[in-house]
Chains A and B, each alone.
Chain A
Amino acid sequence: MTDWLTPEEWQAVWLSVRVSVWATLCSLPFGIAVAYALARKEFWGKQLLNGLVHLPLILPPVVTGYLLLLTFGRKGAVGAVLDQWFGLVFAFRWTGAALAAAVMAFPLMVRAIRLAIEAVDPRLEAAASTLGASRPMVFATVTLPLILPGVLAGTILAFAKAMGEFGATITFVANIPGQTQTLPSAIYSLLQVPGGDAQAARLVWVAIAIAMAALLLSEALSRAVARRISGR
């Protein structure tokens, strides 16, 4: 069943899935925190944070990739520290691809979750606090269950975006088969080779299938959760 894709191609597909899963799961707590802060809090620099979060959506991906290289590269301000203290290297590794995917998908995730938080009636949270729930408990028992559809939608959207990330990834971690060659990079490489079209087409189908499955899953999940929290 696996012989309709070459081992190199499978490698690219699995790498993409792994990169996207890590990118999505690791950014989720930050996504919820930033969305909550943007939806509910007033603080100095709120617009600055909002702008920073959305920047990857508007900047050319190659610029985001280059900025990541400058910051998280081996000699970058943050990259050097992480390498020295934690042995964590991003440049030209799959971890770098995950970081690039996470940064590029972050605005989509934050937007979906922020909308969900803004839709929660703060008066329900006030009611919970009069019943004795502290702030973190109110969030865990009232806010979080009510925003779950939005969190799921944001997560799946971010996963799909991470699967398709190309520009920032190739700029930051290049296109090394088995290391940093994700599905889009593999398709790009095949299209550079004469006669690679047929092979690329197979990968294109894989990309379409994964994206479609993610969308269907997210639809089904959010419908199920929405039914549960509708109170009916």
Chain B
Amino acid sequence: MSREASGNPARATDFARESGQARSESLLAVNLVGLRTIMRKEVKRVSRIWVQTIVPPAITMSLYFVIFGSLIGRRIGEMEGMPYIAYIAPGLIMMAVITNSFSNVVSSFFGAKLQLYLEEMLVSPLSTATIVVGYMIGGIFRGLAVGVLVTVVALMFTRLTIVHPWITLSVVVLVAAVFSMAGLLNAIFAKTFDDISIVPTFVLTPLTYLGGVFFSISLLSPTWQAVAMANPILYMVNAFRYGVLGISDIPIALAYALIIGLFVALFSLNMWLLSRGRGIRS
């Protein structure tokens, strides 16, 4: 069928020339710029709403230190040869990292999905991996920002000397990455606001409280010890405690294996779901 396709060739050059430049960019370069953009956007989001993202966990953790560390902790005495407040400090820091990296990604991705502006990325040539890594870095950023703040609060109550700095750093980053991926998984399936509050309330909080933040599993009976070993957060808290204090209920290699294994599994699952369009495409 013949058409009256038009266009003024002389004026067409403006657009053609400039968009030609953009097209000559390699796919890798496009994705690197895109990744930086998502990271910047996520960091800006966390910073813009710092009253919601950074301050509340710092206040909550201060209360934990006052009540469990300073007031009750004095009566408990020592745990595994450490003052109780020093013993719980790594667990509380890890608790803040876990909840904040999770909630950052779940709320940011779900918000973008709900208000449809996730489409900005979906229509672009960005790869699924870039989108996943971008959100993950946003989650890690908030997890670490809150973690640092809680550490500062902890230092007001107790002295902390980091025994294994590299283990401490690698564990905290890996755990933040794991829970960023868990948050993304939750956001992919979520359809309502209830769906994004169920997991933190009914899964994350109980697992964290029972994950050795406040006690050593050596206090539990053998049966309950076996049950506790099924909780992945126990491995994370203990690995981090090993990095900071040099003590752990779990062999550090086993903890690393579990954390890395979880990360790989969640990252791959998210990649598979998003590349199939689960939860984001009709």
Do A and B originate from a single complex?
no
